[in-house]
Amino acid sequence: MVETNISRLIMKGAACALLCFWCSGLLAQESDNPYKGLPFKDRIFFGGDFGLSFGTFTYVRVAPILGYRVSENFAVGGGPNYQYIRIRYDLAGGGRQDTQTHIFGLNTFARLFVFDPVFIQTDFEILNLRGSIRDPNNFFDREVQRVTVPVWLVGAGYGQRSGNGGIMVGVFYDLIGDRNSPYGREFIIRAGFFF
């Protein structure tokens, strides 16, 4: 019960922070904004990121995005994401054991180029994955089932923009740090593209 209330509070706080970030970008539009007056469809961009790792730790991530250019240096957007994680363990008596999960999610982002090519960004994700829930009658027992996990990433990076496209690399950190988060309490490096 307490964890549910804390999660709701964190999610509301994250939504307010994203809204403030988005509004500040709207207010910061300059009269020489090349996107000012353009039709909505001309401000839209597509992109995403993906990740691959194979071996003892297998990781696959696909995250397409749909974005909107508020100004030359500020964009917002979001999209679905999918992650597959498999970890192989060598057992003491010989043999192997696999642990795997499929993660489904939705994310929103706000990105501001502070000065070209450096940007700051915040992402808020809601992920559904296999996680553990404490048994309220026994503190040490945990039940594994699908859970919904909030993730609030903040970070900075480098973006090489050229014409209508570009690539970006950034370092992010999860401010919420839910115990079921696939990111843990470590920094995350992501690379992506847009066009």
Q: Are 106 and 79 within 8 A, CB to CB?
A: yes
What's the pLDDT at 122?
95
- Lowest average pLDDT, out of 51-55, 110-114, 139-143, goes to 139-143
Q: Domain containing 138: what range?
A: 2-194
Distances in whole angstroms, Cα of residue 78 to Cα of each of 13, 58, 99 = 18, 25, 29
Confidence of residue 14 (pLDDT cuts 50, 70, 90): low
Which 8-state DSSP code applies to residue 1? -
Return the number of other C-beta atoms located less than 10 Å from residue 153's C-beta: 21
Confidence of residue 22 (pLDDT cuts 50, 70, 90): low
- pLDDT value at 64 more than 90: yes
Confidence of residue 13 (pLDDT cuts 50, 70, 90): low
- pLDDT value at 16 more than 70: no
- pLDDT value at 184 more than 80: no
Q: What is the CATH number of the domain that holds 153?
A: 2.40.160.20
Q: Are 108 and 124 within 8 A, CB to CB?
A: yes
Confidence of residue 119 (pLDDT cuts 50, 70, 90): very high
**Number of folded domains in the chain?**
1
The values of phi and psi at residue 88, to 5°, are -100, 130
Q: Are 133 and 143 within 8 A, CB to CB?
A: yes
* Average pLDDT of the chain to the nearest whole number: 80
Confidence of residue 132 (pLDDT cuts 50, 70, 90): low
The values of phi and psi at residue 138, to 5°, are -140, 110
What's the pLDDT at 133?
65
